[in-house]
Structure 1
Amino acid sequence: MRRRRASDRKTRVTVFVALAANILIAAAKAIGGLVAHSPALLSEAAHSVADSLNEIFLLAALHRSRRPADRDHPFGYGKERFFWSLLAAVGIFVMGGCFSFFQGFQALKSGEQESRSGYVAGFAVLGVALLMDGLSLLRALHQVHRQHGSAAEGLRDPALRTVVAEDSTAVLGVVLAIVGMALHMVTGDVVWEASASFAIGVLLVYVAYRLGREARGRLIGQAADPELSHRIRALLQAQPEIDSVEELLTMQLGLDSTLVAARVDLVPGLDSEEVEDVAVRIKRSVAHTVPQADQIFLDITDAPTRAEARRKGREDGPAATGEHGGA
């Protein structure tokens, strides 16, 4: 828990850095785009505005997902991260992608030409934006590798994953805008900048789709990673009192919270008190070995029935034993 709080603080700093950069960049791009009459630059301004609002969503996710469990939410609020990440994906799609397509169509319709000073202002703004977005991306990637050791593990955090995705697309979007403006300047044909706006729109729609699909899967009850499920199953099968693991179900409740429900058969010969003690010990063993499994439920299927049959057979004599022997 302490490690998770420290990780959340660092993620919060990363989101604040990205938010501050995007607010400044959005203002600069909007002013530069209006002065230069550049559709690509205005598309990038909308991109930065969408990113800024999304980072506010992510800050809300970091705050609300750490609330303790209560009567209305007995499994906690871990899925808040996935909900706000879904809203961020919608924001990228609507405010970034759709506006970029709109700017591309407007450019083709109006066919406006930029002045020489407009090109200079546009390139200057995009150069600064490229530098700031690049620094924000490096900060996010540094946190991924420093805190988690590998990108695959670090990007499990939807807030951090969203920041990395936003900053990566921001850098690529600026490059596309620079290329579009440069070709427009050389050829005098606005179709190049319009094409850059369309390309930025396609990029943002794709990123929104990927982030939204991931958040949706977690919200509707996605299972734990196959590796984690395999570890839990192997741990259960290694318990001497368990004869077989009939079924294992998992569901992610949050970033570091997993529900585990297992139906197991115990070895014969255990009475009711022993079954209860064994169940408690197995739960503690799983929770200690796999800290993410903080909600564990065991369904003991056959052992109690067998124990009851034996006791009833001893009480009622050979006839009763014969009656239950085939169960």
Structure 2
Amino acid sequence: MKEIFDLLKQGSMASFTASIVNFFIGLLKGAAFILTGNVAMFAEMMHSFGDSVNQFFVFVGSGLSKKAPTRRFPFGFGRLVNLVCIFAIVVVAILSYETVREGIHHIIEPLPRETDHIMIWINIGVLAVAFILESFVLYKAGKELLQQAGEPYDGMKPLTTSFLHMNRAKPATKLVFLEDSVATVGAVIAIIGILVGQYLNVPVAEGVVSVIIGLMMFYIVYKVFMENAAGVLGESDPHMEERISSIVLNHKEIRDLRRLLVLKEGDALHVEVIAELDQGLTVEQANDIRDEIEGIILEQNHVTDVNLEFEVDDGFRAWPQQMAKKQP
């Protein structure tokens, strides 16, 4: 049990924070539903509770994926986080379908106009609080994302530049960031939908908003599923391969690279390198070079192990051509 708690401490804090915040938002929406009887608010309540459970599973999975390799699983448990994210995104897919279906239903049969303005503003107030809380989670997730990408995360960067570096974030962080991006924007759109529907007398407004939010969620389903499916199969990291190739080739004794592979294993990166050296170097000198280069590579974000081997320089420049062949 102690081992499990130690592993959970290494889990995604963005997922854990999002789970707690969404549970609290679900309670607020539940209270609003009890007070107003608004069916749409009931759906929002279920949506928030679903997100909370979903993100808690991602938190647990991201922690357990740090478990050390065993005799039965010699390559470790890194890809467990990809499996958990796929399970989580299936839940999001179900919620997306229900959101779109409910929206289409309200477009075909619009809800009657609410005459009690207090009830209207209770719903708007709850959505406004949800927006503030979701923005807080989004900021935290964006900050964690930029830290993982090795980029500056001060000021408003977690809400702006983080979108440019999503592909370099851990799977759990990316999932939370995308989910809360939709949740934050969705809260604003929902408020607009209520105002337009009730005060501009556009009965289908809330239904249209529901469909828009559902379609945004489907985009997340597609993006996260495809990326984590690739992670389960075993995916290379071209960005880190380019970076590590520069590190190796910048060493004055390295003449060329015959092979370089950076494999994603959940949150971890495994590096394999075959480099070429001059024939005149001794074994002791080669070992010193190996230790020096491996030390630099292990300092890079998410790199957990390095296997660096040497061959004698064959006089042909291979690495630029090898890199070109890897490009899709």
Q: TM-score, normalised by structure 2?
A: 0.74
CA distance in 2, matches of 1:137, 1:32: 23
CA distance in 2, matches of 1:196, 1:297: 52
Quote the offset at 1:73 in angstroms.
Answer: 2.4
- Structure 2 counterpart SS, 1:290: helix
State how 1:223-242 maps to structure 2 within 5 Å: 223-226=236-239, 228-238=240-250, 242=254
Gap runs ≥5 in structure 2: 1-5, 154-161, 315-328
Q: Which moved more, 1:174-183 or 1:234-243?
A: 234-243
Summarize the Cα distance change of 1:230–1:29 in structure 2 as closer, same or farther, 3 Å threshold. same
Summarize the Cα distance change of 1:290–1:302 in structure 2 as closer, same or farther, 3 Å threshold. closer
Q: Which moved more, 1:106-115 or 1:30-39?
A: 30-39
CA distance in 1, matches of 2:102, 2:33: 11
More helix by share: 1
State how 1:50-69 maps to structure 2 within 5 Å: 50-69=50-69
Length, aligned pairs only? 291
- Tell me whether 1:284 sits opposite 2:291 in the alignment: yes
Summarize the Cα distance change of 1:283–1:64 in structure 2 as closer, same or farther, 3 Å threshold. farther
Q: TM-score, normalised by structure 1?
A: 0.75
Q: Which moved more, 1:40-49 or 1:85-94?
A: 40-49
* Preserved contact between residue 40 and residue 196 of structure 1 (Cα < 8 Å): no
- Structure 2 counterpart SS, 1:190: coil
Question: Once the two structures are superposed, what CA deviation does each residue of 1:155-205 show, in whole Å capped at 9, x if it has no partner?
Answer: 612222222222221111111111111111124343111101101101111
Quote the offset at 1:61 in angstroms.
Answer: 2.0
State how 1:90-239 maps to structure 2 within 5 Å: 90-95=90-95, 97-117=96-116, 118-144=119-145, 149-150=152-153, 151=162, 152=165, 156-226=169-239, 228-238=240-250
- The match for 2:279 is 268
* Preserved contact between residue 26 and residue 49 of structure 1 (Cα < 8 Å): yes
| One-letter code aligned to 1:124 | G
* Preserved contact between residue 9 and residue 63 of structure 2 (Cα < 8 Å): no
Summarize the Cα distance change of 1:131–1:265 in structure 2 as closer, same or farther, 3 Å threshold. closer
Q: What do you get for the CA RMSD once the two structures are aligned?
A: 3.3
Question: Once the two structures are superposed, what CA deviation does each residue of 1:187-241 show, in whole Å capped at 9, x if it has no partner?
Answer: 4343111101101101111122222233223222221242x32333234335566
* Preserved contact between residue 37 and residue 112 of structure 1 (Cα < 8 Å): no
CA distance in 2, matches of 1:235, 1:189: 60
Summarize the Cα distance change of 1:230–1:108 in structure 2 as closer, same or farther, 3 Å threshold. closer
Question: Once the two structures are superposed, what CA deviation does each residue of 1:22-52 show, in whole Å capped at 9, x if it has no partner?
Answer: 1122233345357656565345334313321
- Tell me whether 1:248 sits opposite 2:260 in the alignment: yes
